[in-house]
Amino acid sequence: MRMDTTDAETRDRADMERLAAGHDAALNDLMERHATAVFQFLCRMLGSADDANDLAQETFARVFRARASFRANQKFTSWLYTIAANLARNHFRWRARHPTVSLEAESAVAEETLGDILPSATPAPNEQALTTERATAVRAAVSRLPDDLREAIVLCEFEERSVAEAATILETTPKAIESRLYRARQILRDRLKKWL
């Protein structure tokens, strides 16, 4: 059962106040509530579980280092995702100068692809093959989007963030997010017309 949004925000703010007051264990509570979601967000953004894991850890390290700069009137998850998105952008710049790993590359540990590792709803058994093929096509199409369009789609569609929250996280205007979503959907509609 999902925690009420207001209760979660209140707990996040209280934990940030405790963290700022020197109670380092409050970071554990924040990580327990948000680490998986941040990892999944970064995984979808970066296309690499290893990179996502590294940046998820760095995200919480930065939360700890910047604990005194958190303003109690801001939403913690927006602040957290802004940190993660900025780290992802920096990684995109770094990755532009270095080789990348495909979403379909096998994991050295489990001999699974990243697409197999990402959580998804389980379709009915008779639809499994079709669902897998469709999901692979969607992941490939999303991964080929320009960075700014991919960020908007991942936040609003996969992470179910509002346009306003995505704008806060990506440090832009809601109108810019709406424009990016429109362009991204047009591109995806064209690339995925076989599946529509």
- Once rounded to an integer, what is the mean pLDDT over residues 64-76? 88
Domain boundaries, the chain: 1-101, 120-196
Q: Tell me the pLDDT tens digit for each residue of 166-179.
A: 999 999 999 999 99
Domain 120-196 fold = Arc Repressor Mutant, subunit A (1.10.10)
Which pLDDT score, from 0 to 100, does residue 118 have? 59
Looking at domain 1-101, its CATH class is: mainly alpha
Position 2 confidence tier, pLDDT thresholds 50, 70, 90: very low
3-state secondary structure the chain: CCCCHHHHHHHHHHHHHHHHCCCCCHHHHHHHHHHHHHHHHHHHHHCCHHHHHHHHHHHHHHHHHCHHHCCCCCCHHHHHHHHHHHHHHHHHHHHHCCCCCCCCCECCCCCCEHHHHCCCCCCCHHHHHHHHHHHHHHHHHHHCCCHHHHHHHHHHHHCCCCHHHHHHHCCCCHHHHHHHHHHHHHHHHHHCHHHC
